[in-house]
Amino acid sequence: MKNLQKIKIHGELALAAVIVLNSLGVVLMLYSGSGISAISSVPYAFSLALPFFSLGTWTYIFQGLLVLSLLILQKKLVWPYLFSFIVGFAFGVFVDIHELWTALLPRTMALRIIYFLIGYLLIAFGIALSNRCRMPIIPTDLFPREFSKITGLTYAKTKITFDVTCLAATALITLIALKHLSGLGIGTVAAAFTMGKAISEIGKLIDRKFYFVSFLDKD
């Protein structure tokens, strides 16, 4: 009965929106000059240290490793995890696409702040949406959610820990390969320590107004 008062959204459409919006959010945060988002900081570090692959390609390589880690933790084959990697591939492709057109945007100081804020909100909204869309989701979104379920930790704490770990790995990779930090900025650090909470709050707002169904659901 509660769902009758909410707006129905098909998870497949929500997932498509997540792929486009989250990849755009990642690129806008990077383009703002405040630092790339934590979820893409490790692929970004590898794209600098080993530039024979694009950021998008390193993104889905990294996501594949996250899926493999979850399979090891579960100690069994979980088919939705494998479908999640396919979604991650599409995400990586859109990262490369967004890099092409955002490079044409002006970069004044005021606009950089706007790019960061838009990117931050797009990522937080996209992750909150993906956690509810009833579909296989992007591995970088999947990993904190499933790790939280496996360990019993709250999602917010798991997300923050995951992001901070990604930042530490990025710092290590860039220091070793480039002899200096790269890709990390005040925006990256701020997002890492606040986005878990922001995702939880946005998720609560979504839950009040919407519910999700899938064409794969059984009647």
Helix residue spans in the chain (DSSP H): 11-31, 38-49, 55-74, 79-102, 109-130, 139-151, 155-178, 186-209
Contact (Cβ atoms closer than 8 angstroms) between residue 137 and residue 18: yes
Query: Rounded distance, CA 33 to CA 185, Å?
Result: 8
Instruction: Tell me if the pTM is above 0.85.
Output: no
Q: Is residue 218 part of a domain?
A: no
Contact (Cβ atoms closer than 8 angstroms) between residue 71 and residue 78: yes
The secondary element (H helix, E strand) that includes residue 132 is none
State residue 9 phi and psi, 5-degree precision: -130, 135
Domain of residue 87 covers 2-211
Mean pLDDT of all residues in 155-178: 87
Neighbours of 121 (CB within 10 A): 15
Q: Is residue 100 part of a domain?
A: yes
Higher model confidence: residue 93 or residue 181?
Answer: 93
The pLDDT tens digits for 71-130 are: 898 888 888 788 888 888 888 899 899 999 999 999 899 999 999 999 999 999 998 998
Q: Would you place residue 3 in the very low, low, confident or very high pLDDT band (cuts 50, 70, 90)?
A: low
Domains in the chain: how many in total?
1
The pLDDT tens digits for 15-67 are: 999 999 999 998 998 888 888 877 788 998 999 899 888 888 898 899 889 98
